[in-house]
Chain A
């Protein structure tokens, strides 16, 4: 009699599922794309555990310190594609000092040993050295996809090794990395016989590339679908590259700036006219609105427009966007202003994701007219809008309540009011009511960032209502420990919690210690934590890594600190690998 369920008496006996050959189960499991389904299958019985682990092709390690690389490789010997993520998200805001960890090397070394057939490798917020890239180029004979996002530690020498060594490379996707320029002509190292490239993204590379070599590469890679250039490519060269790749689906234009010349305009327009498949467009468009009409012919086909680095503004920008009637994704600077967003609202009814970035976040003077109005308009008129990231300087509860009512389908809502503690600018009240409305209305909300003046009350609402919430970001909010306690005792699905500059202490952590084992990680910086209780937490929960981090510039060694010493940053995460051994001096695992 199996556990966990009573058997109905006269029901037909179940077929002998255990008699199906392993390879049939492995094939069936290949129709389960989600890691959690595969995990559930593996937890069902011994034979499925075996079949699942032997057939898992795609492995995601969301925290590189949650498992040891060699254990991962041993457990899943058939992996062809692996993705590993390192530093916590707040590293993007400079809150993680250098040499913190997250080295890719142990993962590449383990993969080189155990996964010789590896085809894809993806690293996010990790330290990837040139030696890593050389090892990748030398170890995997069928390597096809390299994706590096927000990484550092490598140079164009490493890229040269990839270009020279990976004969079957299809994708080289470099997003937001810090790459040292060694003036090596790495593009020239792709052999003349190499034609397999489908994605080439070097938009984050500072420094020149050999444009003739690039043109030859683009010409011979007839399957090239994604081409994202860096800022070193002048506009006339952009035009000739585009003409050589009319099959392009995604284009990053690089700097896109030049003095207006009718000849160059015509060249650009003609090149674009050939691009019948172009769907995604991005680039750091400088203020040359006169060239925008050259892209008019592709507007209607665009589903994605990323102008998050574009300083272009004014009526030409808005006219351009208004022609993009099929846009699903729009990332733009706040230079678009409220009236621009009103045009987006009326023109782009298929919009699913909107991000509005601040053009001058550190300049308190109000230069752009982007307020709550823009967001209200877009959320009122775009029925498929489900993901928002919005930087602005003022907000009202009423606006948030209206937005919540219009768009209960939000899955991601990140509002960043730039100045901390900013209240409702009309009533001067905290924005508790507004954010409460959001979590009460948007039952499918998975990601939330709150900002502005907020009391503990908003956290009570979030804890009680945000049942599907997986990631929560809090800054400069709350009154007391109660705020944190509400979150940790509620939020059933919470996986990642990141907090900075809030008056939260350690009591709610100790009171909700078990919650931390149900979450991937917790980050708390510039809060009210002290060393003693953090050590207590570590003793209470031995399978969590409790990392305490202080200012690396402080001379005082961590061992000499007392229970009452303040803790600048706490990073807690569950792991099956025990404490890590690569902590720098300023990090202590308590």
Chain B
């Protein structure tokens, strides 16, 4: 039996392969293999022939898995479109390229505009599934939440406990500001 299901249903008659991914709470998601392969973890599982009957992900719940796959599908479609435009000699295609880039950028911006809980889950998932683009996007968002803030403000934002003594905190602040800035 083939390790990846051939898509018989659906509108495209191109015969592109799809993969089934199963969340930790047993929900199944069918996506293009190309999209799923944006996750290095999943790609290795496919290559190792473990995709029979679907790939189980015990660490990722359905809600977050849906979002991750949404990201991957959108990005894989964008890559396909731009390589089509690149190989096309159609001036209209070439002219549309920057617009498509802008589309992707605004997709990403809206995609990552989420509550801390979701951001945390996306970070965990992107790290575990090794989806580089999504990990970078989420990390950039975290960095943006940090920029320009004092340690106190950072602790408030992330609800982190201050486990420094006042003397330690003073020493670190001095070292950073006096010597390494």
Taking beta carbons and an 8 Å cutoff, which residues of A are in contact with B?
2-5, 7, 12, 14-18, 20-21, 23-24, 27-32, 34-46, 48-49, 59-63, 66-67, 72, 75-76, 520, 543, 574-577
Q: Is the CB of B159 within 8 A of A24?
A: no
Residues from chain B with a CB closer than 8 A to the CB of A28 are: 123, 139, 142-143, 146
Residues from chain A with a CB closer than 8 A to the CB of B150 are: 40
Known contacts: A28-B142, A41-B146, A43-B169. The answer to whether A61 contacts B179 by CB under 8 A is yes
Q: Is the CB of A27 within 8 A of B158?
A: no
CA distance A37 to B140 in the complex (A): 13
Q: Is the CB of A60 within 8 A of B181?
A: yes
Known contacts: A5-B156, A37-B148, A67-B179. The answer to whether A576 contacts B139 by CB under 8 A is no
Q: Which of B108-156 contact A (CB under 8 A)?
A: 116-117, 119-121, 123-124, 127, 135-136, 139-140, 142-143, 146-152, 154-156
Residues from chain B with a CB closer than 8 A to the CB of A41 are: 146, 151, 154
CA distance A31 to B155 in the complex (A): 18
The 4 closest A-B pairs by CB, nearest first: A39-B176, A31-B143, A14-B159, A15-B120
Residues from chain B with a CB closer than 8 A to the CB of A59 are: 180
Residues from chain B with a CB closer than 8 A to the CB of A12 are: 117
Given A24-B124, A36-B177, A575-B179, 18 extra CB contacts under 8 A: A4-B156, A15-B119, A17-B158, A28-B142, A28-B143, A30-B139, A31-B136, A38-B176, A41-B151, A42-B176, A43-B172, A44-B155, A45-B163, A48-B160, A66-B178, A76-B180, A543-B174, A576-B175
Q: Is the CB of B181 within 8 A of A4?
A: no
Residues from chain A with a CB closer than 8 A to the CB of B172 are: 42-43, 49
In the complex, residue of chain B having the shortest beta-carbon distance to the beta carbon of A39? B176
CA distance A45 to B150 in the complex (A): 12
Q: Is the CB of B160 within 8 A of A18?
A: yes
CA distance A2 to B179 in the complex (A): 28
CA distance A14 to B121 in the complex (A): 12
Beta-carbon contacts of B61-100 to A below 8 Å, as 1s and 0s? 0000000000000000000000000000000000000000
Q: Is the CB of B127 within 8 A of A576?
A: no
Q: Is the CB of A4 within 8 A of B152?
A: yes
Minimum CB–CB distance from B64 to chain A (whole Å) comes to 12
- 28 A/B residue pairs, CB under 8 Å, sorted by A: A2-B162, A5-B155, A14-B159, A16-B120, A17-B160, A20-B124, A27-B135, A27-B139, A28-B142, A28-B143, A31-B139, A32-B146, A34-B147, A39-B176, A39-B177, A40-B151, A43-B151, A43-B169, A43-B172, A44-B154, A44-B155, A46-B163, A48-B160, A62-B181, A72-B180, A520-B178, A543-B174, A575-B178
> Of B139, B143, B161, B174, which one neighbours A2 at CB under 8 angstroms?
B161
CA distance A5 to B162 in the complex (A): 11
Residues from chain B with a CB closer than 8 A to the CB of A31 are: 136, 139-140, 142-143
In the complex, residue of chain A having the shortest beta-carbon distance to the beta carbon of B148? A37
Residues from chain A with a CB closer than 8 A to the CB of B159 are: 2, 7, 14, 17
CA distance A43 to B171 in the complex (A): 9
CA distance A543 to B178 in the complex (A): 11
Residues from chain B with a CB closer than 8 A to the CB of A44 are: 151, 154-155, 158, 160, 162
Q: Is the CB of A39 within 8 A of B146?
A: no
Known contacts: A32-B146, A45-B161. The answer to whether A15 contacts B117 by CB under 8 A is yes
Q: Is B44 an interface residue (CB 8 A)?
A: no
Q: How large is the interface on B (under 10, 10 to 19, 20 to 34, 35 or more residues)?
A: 35 or more
Residues from chain B with a CB closer than 8 A to the CB of A5 are: 152, 155-156
Q: Is the interface of B mostly helix, strand, loop or mixed?
A: helix
Residues from chain A with a CB closer than 8 A to the CB of B142 are: 28, 31
Q: Is the CB of A24 within 8 A of B127?
A: yes
Residues from chain B with a CB closer than 8 A to the CB of A20 are: 120, 123-124, 127
Minimum CB–CB distance from A472 to chain B (whole Å) comes to 18
Most buried by A among B119, B135, B152: B152
Q: Is the CB of B161 within 8 A of A24?
A: no
Known contacts: A39-B177, A43-B173, A45-B161. The answer to whether A21 contacts B149 by CB under 8 A is no
CA distance A60 to B151 in the complex (A): 20
In the complex, residue of chain A having the shortest beta-carbon distance to the beta carbon of B116? A15
Residues from chain A with a CB closer than 8 A to the CB of B147 are: 32, 34, 37
Q: Is the CB of B162 within 8 A of A3?
A: yes
CA distance A27 to B134 in the complex (A): 12
Q: Is the CB of A29 within 8 A of B116?
A: no
Residues from chain A with a CB closer than 8 A to the CB of B176 are: 35-36, 38-40, 42-43
Q: Is the CB of B124 within 8 A of A60?
A: no
Residues from chain A with a CB closer than 8 A to the CB of B156 are: 2, 4-5
